Amino acid sequence: MDMKTVREDARKKLKGFCRVCPVCDGRVCAGEVPGMGGLGTASSFRANIEALARVRLQMRTIHPVKEPKLSFSLWGRTLSMPILVAPMTGSTYNMGGAMTEEQFVAELAAGALQAGTIAMTGDGADPSMFGSGLAAGKANRASTIAIIKPRAQEVIVSYLRQAEEAGVLATGMDVDGAGLVTMAMKGQPVGPKTFEELREVIGATQLPFIVKGVMTVDEAEAAVRAGAAAIVVSNHGGRVLDSVPGAAEVLPAIADRVKGKAMVFADGGVRSGTDVLKLLALGADAVLIGRPMITAVYGGGRDGVALALNQLRNELLQAMLLTGTADVGQVARSILAP
């Protein structure tokens, strides 16, 4: 199996919901929500790509770094790389339905484990989607992270109990899902949370809690004050609000303010190991990757996911060697060109 074959097979199975473009930048699928595109003009999707493209690395080859450290410790688990699979749902209405929701999330989770890392699992317009994610991790305890939509408080607490019972490594909420079109279409109410409501749900579990969808310094600080163990700097792949900056644009200021108080993850527009290193240099502790994993799982199942993740890891290793970066846990912002 190689990535060319994976991409060709994925293009057939995704049935036009994703064209598996040579450059995944949101132009062809603009406005296709449900589907794989960004909301409206897809400017927020493209902003993720463009923000990362503007970041440049300084190449250095006269240094002692010969075997960079890529392993990453996360709440007691040692991962092979600081790259996790982002939470994704909607195989039937976003991706054409060639895989059931259960198959989709199970193969993503298994492929991540095969590559030595883990997947976040999501919540969606069909309530059974959250359960599918929990089932994907039950065979290997602490092998997935369950992310919940900003539903009613009592529903979130119920989902937290299910996540605890399933033995997930951590849980959390993608607060940026507050206005998701697909949730509204399917009669699943979601909405913004007050600081007090956020603190209440975080306090309802002993699991590490992640607040996903943070794009401003003040909300990052609020999430940390509410008790979050981690935040994810993310604009939800450009799928919830048009005209939002790319994650790489806002990440440095957020990381400067809260890193060390909580873990800082980032996602949006990651297409290579070089992109991963850029986000680490901008302040992320780890990076989530979404759409490329859909191509990988539809084109090659768990083996395709592991292949794609290992390719990213190898690209990250190469970029570290060529920037003099010894450890993914200590990526200096000085490797970035001024």
Catalytically active residues, by annotation: 236
DSSP letter string over 5-20?
Answer: HHHHHHHHHTTTS---
Beta strands, E only, the chain? 72-74, 77-79, 83-85, 119-121, 144-148, 170-174, 209-214, 230-233, 263-266, 286-289
Picking from 45, 38, 74, 120, the residue whose alpha carbon sits closest to that of residue 289 is 120
Query: Are the C-beta atoms of residues 234 and 213 closer than 8 Å to each other?
Result: yes
Count, residues in the chain: 338
CA–CA dist 226, 220 (Å, integer): 10
Query: Are the C-beta atoms of residues 155 and 217 closer than 8 Å to each other?
Result: no
Picking from 322, 174, 295, the residue whose alpha carbon sits closest to that of residue 236 is 174
